[in-house]
Amino acid sequence: MSKVALITGVTGQDGAYLAELLLGKGYIVHGIKRRSSLFNTDRIDHLYQDPHEKNRRFVLHHGDLTDSSSLIRIIQQVQPDEIYNLAAQSHVAVSFEEPEYTANSDALGALRILEAIRILGLEKKTRFYQASTSELYGLVQEIPQKETTPFYPRSPYAVAKLYAYWITVNYREAYGIYACNGILFNHESPLRGETFVTRKITRALARIKLGLQDCLFLGNLDSKRDWGHAKDYVEMQWLMLQQEQAEDFVIATGVQYSVREFVTAAAEELGIHVRWEGTGVEEKGYDANGKCIVAVDPRYFRPAEVETLLGDATKAKEKLGWVPQVSFKELVTEMVREDLKAAERDELVKHHGYKTMDYHE
Ligand code: NDP
Ligand code: GDR
């Protein structure tokens, strides 16, 4: 009998990689997508199976983390062995603009799923994974951060995720549900959303290289992150649900770079050497011809910043056999290469792909 998994946030970066991983392991995978006015399934279109196909192994359902009734209905129908709660309003900066919605989806969303497990009497059957985050450490109390490091969230997103973290622990202790938190540090890929800093950088630099864009505007260049590859990290999400006992794990590479260093590395991949000049809001990056290609724009500063994150994943190494497969350099190379291909397609369309139409003809 195939195992059955339910993924919330299946249309997101991690959801797409995880669905692919689980299908490869023989799972039947159900995913929850929310209704949108445009197609939002780009990342999983290659996995799509027509509803008319018999014995489908990949099935999508409309639902929303803010809507208990949809969650209960889907979980009742699917009777999953494993639920991966990846859905979230996941943008830290946006959470300052939409704090209430962020709390509703990111904090109460986890509670709604855990309650659905209870209401449906699935406490002994269904295992639950919560997508927790290094943002919980916020104003860091210890370097590097591990499972025992105290939390100090610095955004409405992180505060909402703190609730989700503790409600997961609480339902494990109170009701014996196999529920665990993966405290994942930043992980990126060519599927990363375009407004997160790594993807914003690789996409913009590729476009600058081809003359499709002039300048990349960024916020805090000094911010430091521990960046890994999403493909590596979803494997750990799965492994956390395969243990004898539910536990919480930090997943990180243990290596840290600044946003400025990410820009420099991505530019080097494109054969652009960035010369940095100035400090603070005056800082700029120039190419070899003296053209300004990177500038600081204070609109991207956050009301409260998380300056530095560096993870210690010793526990995951020892218990899950965690070894990151993709290095920082390989991650940057892959992201730049994919964004360069996309920029080349845009350039082709811009210069050769269409002719100007005179609609009055
Ligand atoms: P994405 O932003 O790429 O994906 C988020 C997913 O959640 C999308 O499928 C989105 O749908 C869906 N979603 C958002 N709101 C709702 C809602 N109200 N109801 C149902 N679905 C919703 O995030 P990632 O894949 O990068 O991250 C996955 C999870 O891991 C998130 O919870 C994130 O907070 C957490 N995390 C991520 C890290 C990272 O570095 N990537 C690190 C640590 C934690 P749509 O496609 O329609 O927008
Ligand atoms: P983060 O990722 O906030 O760590 O959350 P993001 O890539 O948005 O920011 C990383 C750091 O870069 C700085 N920064 C900028 N960020 C963005 N988005 N845009 C900019 O122009 C810019 N300039 C500088 C930020 O200030 C920050 O310090 C991600 C999300 O995936 C969360 O869901 C997840 O929980 C954490 O990673 C771990």
Outline where the chain has alpha helix (H): 13-24, 68-78, 92-97, 99-102, 109-119, 156-175, 197-209, 230-240, 259-269, 314-320, 328-348
Helix (H, G, I), strand (E, B) or coil at 26: coil
Position 357 scores a pLDDT of: 55
What phi and psi values does residue 298 have, to the nearest 5 degrees? -60, -15
Q: Is 87 in the pocket of ligand 2 (CB under 6 A)?
A: no
**CB 65 near ligand 1, within 6 Å:** yes
pLDDT at 262 > cutoff 60: yes
**Residue owning the nearest CA to atom 41 of ligand 1:** 187
Q: Give the model's pLDDT for residue 355.
A: 57
DSSP state of 150: P
pLDDT at residue number 350: 84
**Which tens digit of pLDDT belongs to each residue from 184-200?**
999 999 999 999 999 99
Average pLDDT for 218-247: 98
Is 80 exceeded by the pLDDT of residue 62?
yes
- Which ligand is located closest to the Cα atom of residue 200? 2
Q: Average pLDDT of 336-352?
A: 93
Which residue has a Cα nearest atom 26 of ligand 1? 13
Closest CA to ligand 2's atom 32: 90
Residue 343's pLDDT is what?
A: 97
- Which residues pair with residue 60 across a beta bridge? 31
pLDDT at 10 over 90: yes
The pLDDT assigned to 351 comes to: 82
Compute the distance from residue 33 Cα to the ligand 1 centre, in Å.
Answer: 11
- Any ligand 1 atom below 6 A from CB of 64: yes
Average pLDDT score over residue span 276-302: 98
In sequence order, the β-bridge partners of residue 110 are none
CA of 277 to the centre of ligand 2 (A): 23
Annotation says 157 is catalytic: yes
Known catalytic residue: 135?
yes
Q: How far is the CA of 74 from the centre of ligand 1 (A)?
A: 19
> From the CA atom positions of the chain, what is the Rg in Å?
21
The residue to which tokens 């390989």 are assigned: 330
Which-ligand-closest: CA of 217?
Answer: 2
Cα-to-centroid distance, 193 and ligand 1 (Å): 10
Instruction: Give pLDDT tens digits for 22-52.
Output: 999 999 999 999 999 999 999 999 999 999 9
Ligand 1 proximity of 95 Cβ (cutoff 6 Å) = no
CATH number of 197-224+257-304+328-352: 3.90.25.10
- Rounded to two decimals, the pTM is 0.97
Q: Is 133 in the pocket of ligand 1 (CB under 6 A)?
A: yes
For residue 196, the CA-to-ligand 2 centroid distance in Å is 5
**Minimum mean pLDDT range among 47-56, 75-84, 255-264, 350-359:** 350-359
Q: Is the pLDDT of residue 356 over 60?
A: no
Q: Which of the listed residues 17, 139, 196, 258 should we mutate to test ligand 2's pocket, taking the one with most ligand atoms within 8 A of CB?
A: 196
Among this protein's residues, is 133 annotated catalytic?
yes
DSSP string, 306-330: --B--B--HHHHHHH-----S-HHH
C-alpha angle 276-281-286 in degrees, rounded to nearest 5: 25
Fold of 4-189+226-256: Rossmann fold (3.40.50)
Average pLDDT, the chain: 96
Nearest CA among 43, 59, 4 for reference residue 27: 4
For residue 210, report the distance from its CA to the centre of ligand 1, in Å.
Answer: 31
Find out whether the beta carbon of 229 lies less than 6 Å from any atom of ligand 1: no
pLDDT in tens, 67-93: 999 999 999 999 999 999 999 999 999
Q: Where are the domains of the chain?
A: 4-189+226-256, 197-224+257-304+328-352
Q: What percent of the chain has pLDDT over 90?
A: 96
| pLDDT per position as a tens digit, 122-181 | 999 999 999 999 999 999 999 999 999 999 999 999 999 999 999 999 999 999 999 999
Q: What is the pLDDT of residue 361?
A: 45
3-class secondary-structure state, position 178: coil
pLDDT of residue 337: 98
- Can you read off the two tokens belonging to residue 313? 């994943």
Percent of the chain exceeding pLDDT 70 equals: 98
